[in-house]
Amino acid sequence: MRVVTSTGSMQGLALGWKRRGNRVGLVPTMGYLHEGHMSLVRRARRWVGAEGKVVVSIYVNPTQFGPKEDLSRYPRDMTRDLGMCREAGVEVVFAPTDAGMYARGRVGEAHSTYVVEETVSQRMEGAERPGHFRGVTTVVAKLFNLVLPDVAVFGAKDYQQAMVIRRMVRDLNFGVRVLVAPTRRERDGLAMSSRNGYLSEGEREQATVLWQAMGEARRIVRGSRGGVPASRLSRELTRWMERRPAVRVGYVAFFDPETLEPVERVRAGVQMALAVWVGKTRLIDNSRV
């Protein structure tokens, strides 16, 4: 396994693969890897085959964090990450530096180009985290140009992100197939996330509300005739979750799984997503109702 930190070397390597006809799969991560990430790696491997190359990028991208968010305390453990990638048979870990990714020169020469998606990215995470998706689309566009993947694998846990990336790929004609792999969960249903490590023991217990609320929504909708008004269901679930002392709900949203347009009535087949603060930790999750 090779660890590449220079953007130039990464692109050179990728060009060589292209020339030799190797299929390339990219798994973009912010590191602090867990079983969720490794399931994406396995998905990439299945797609590119034994002759193909799997690249895991590990980069805590500053442009997708808001000024009050957890950029500086975001968990990192490169040694452990590299061990996991090696064990999984990854060919290249691409771990660039901030200076390499976002050019800084004399005045007026700082990084100044962004990729913006203006529809799918507007609600939910986009509304609660202004600038977040602009950072995501920009860094993913950069990674695509540096790694030149045939396929890139994203986790379904970040559902809106995956849809935003799909839209970007379509609109900017990136020759990349975007795969979305199912969310991996702990035994009690909590979606795996590097941010789960922030939770205290008591908070960790309360964090199961996201999973439970989604089950609750499914039960309510399936028990109804012709669905339930989205606003009422959202209010009810919010109240229900906030009975736990550490829990504060950001949003509970119901929408079309393709266009991400909100629906008025929640029926089976509608997508739901929620963002919930548990103490000082913000968690998100989603599922089909």
Interface residue with a second copy, options 50, 79, 104, 173 (CB under 8 A)? 173
Min separation Cβ 137 and a second copy, Å: 7
Interface residue with a second copy, options 157, 167, 204, 244 (CB under 8 A)? 167
Q: With CB under 8 A as the contact rule, which of the stretches 205-213, 217-225, 259-267, 268-276 interacts with a second copy?
A: 259-267
Q: Is 222 in the site for a second copy (CB under 8 A)?
A: no
Site for a second copy in 5-34 (CB under 8 A): 7, 11, 15, 18-19, 21
Query: Is the sign of the CA dihedral 280, 282, 283, 288 positive or negative?
Result: positive
Identity of the residue numbered 13: L
Q: Catalytic annotation on 37?
A: yes
Min separation Cβ 113 and a second copy, Å: 4
Interface residue with a second copy, options 41, 54, 120, 190 (CB under 8 A)? 120
Residue 267 phi/psi, 5-degree rounding, is -125, 170
Long-range interactions of 242-248: CB distance < 8 A, separation 24+? 244/206, 244/209, 245/206, 246/202, 246/203, 246/206, 246/278, 246/279, 247/206, 247/209, 247/276, 247/277, 247/278, 248/276, 248/277
Residues with Cβ within 8 Å of 92's Cβ and at least 6 positions away in sequence, in order, are 1, 2, 3, 4, 10, 13, 53, 54, 55, 56
115 vs 247, beta carbon nearer a second copy: 115
137 vs 196, beta carbon nearer a second copy: 137
Q: Is 194 in the site for a second copy (CB under 8 A)?
A: no
Q: Is 73 in the site for a second copy (CB under 8 A)?
A: no
How many angstroms separate the CA atoms of 23 and 57, rounded?
16
Q: Which residues are catalytic?
A: 37
Binding site for a second copy (CB under 8 A): 7, 11, 15, 18-19, 21, 103, 106-120, 137-138, 141-142, 145-146, 148, 167-168, 170-175, 256, 258-261
